[in-house]
Amino acid sequence: MLHRSTLVSLCILCGLFGVAPAALSQASIPHTVAPDAKELQKTGIALLREAVQLAQFQQYEPALARTKLATQLLPTSAEAWALLGGLYLSTEKVDPGIQALEKSLSLNPNNAGVNFSLGSAYFRKANYATAERFLLAGLKAKPGVPEVLFDLGNTYLRMGRLDDAIGRYKEAVAKDQKFWPAINNVGLIQYEQGKIDGAIQSWKAAIAIDEKSTEPKLALATALYKQGQTEQGITLAASALAVDRRYGDVKFLKDNLWGDRLIADTQTVLATPKVRDTLAQSAPAAVPALRKGNAPAPKRKP
C-alpha cells in the first residue's frame, strides 16, 4: 500500500522551516504607494503563517493563494517556495510542485523535507531513479523517518529491487513498530515470490496492528482462498470490501503496488457470488486512501 505522503511531506516542510501556525494575524497588503522592505517581509511571513494553518485543515486552495503571494513578497525565502511546492503536490499539481520545490532547494540544499517531497513527486511521475536520489538525500539530512523509508521501499519495489524494498520496509517498522503499511508491503513481495506462508504471516501481523485495515484483509483472504480455505477466504474478503470497495478495482490494486500474481488470484475471489454481492451493495469509502506515490498514498501507500 502506498499510504503516505504528500501530506506527510507537507507536515515535515511546515515543521522544518518553523512557521508557527499559532498566533496568526490577518495579513493585508499595506495601503501605501511604496511599502518598504520590512513591511513586505512582515506581510509575507503573515501570509505564510495563515497558509500553514489553512493547510493543516486541508484548505489547500486558499493556502495556495496566500503562499503564491508570499513567494512574490519573499522571493529568496526557501521556506516560502517549499510550502508552495508542498501545496501544489497536495492539489495534484505535480509539475509546478516540482518547480517550486527545486527553487527552494536551490536556496537551501539542506532542507530534508524538500528532498522528501521531491522524492514523492518524482515517484508519482514514475521517475524512480530521481525519486530515490532525493529520498536518500533527505534521509542523509534527517535519518530514520519511517514514512520516508517506506516511500523508498515503494520506490525500490517499482524498480524491481525487491530485497532493497524489503530492507527499507523493515527499517521503517524498526523505527515505528505500528507502521503496518510497511509490513503489508513485505507481504505483497512475499506473495509474488511464492512465499505464501510468509505473506500470510505479514498480513496477519498488519491486521493485528490495525484490525480495520482493508488491504491486508483482502490480501490475506486471497491467500487463504488460494490455499484451499475457500469459505474463510470469501468471508474475510467480503468483510474487507464492505468497508472499502475500492479494493475490488484492479486498477486501484495496481496503483497500490499489488503484483500480477496476487491480482490474478484476487480476481478469482472477487468473482465469487458472496463477494460480488458485497461489492454491489457496499458504499464507496468515505475517506480517500493515503497514498504515497505510492501517495500516496496512492501508497505515500501519506
* CATH classification number, 1-23+37-143, choose in 1.10.3720.10, 2.60.40.1180, 1.25.40.10, 3.40.718.10: 1.25.40.10
Q: At residue 252, what is the residue type?
A: F
With cut-offs at 50, 70 and 90, classify the pLDDT of residue 92: very high
191, 201, 282 from 217: Cα distances, Å: 14, 12, 16
Residues 200-236 pLDDT 10s:
999 999 999 999 999 999 999 999 999 999 999 999 9
Please tell me the distance from the alpha carbon of residue 225 to that of residue 230, in angstroms, as a whole number: 4
Same fold, 1-23+37-143 and 163-287+294-302: yes
Average pLDDT over residues 57-65: 95
How many of the other CB atoms lie within 10 Å of CB of 58? Answer: 10
Report the CATH superfamily, name and number, of domain 163-287+294-302.
Answer: Tetratricopeptide repeat domain (1.25.40.10)
pLDDT of 142 strictly over 50:
yes
pLDDT of 30 strictly over 60:
no
Q: Which class for 18: exposed (0-12), middle (13-18), buried (19 or more C-beta within 10 A)?
A: exposed
Least confident of 18-27, 140-149, 188-197, 239-248: 18-27
Please tell me the distance from the alpha carbon of residue 270 to that of residue 241, in angstroms, as a whole number: 10
pLDDT of 291 strictly over 70:
no
Three cell numbers, residue 270: 472477487
pLDDT of 5 strictly over 70:
no
Give the start-to-end residue ranges of the domains of the chain: 1-23+37-143, 163-287+294-302
pLDDT of 301 strictly over 70:
no
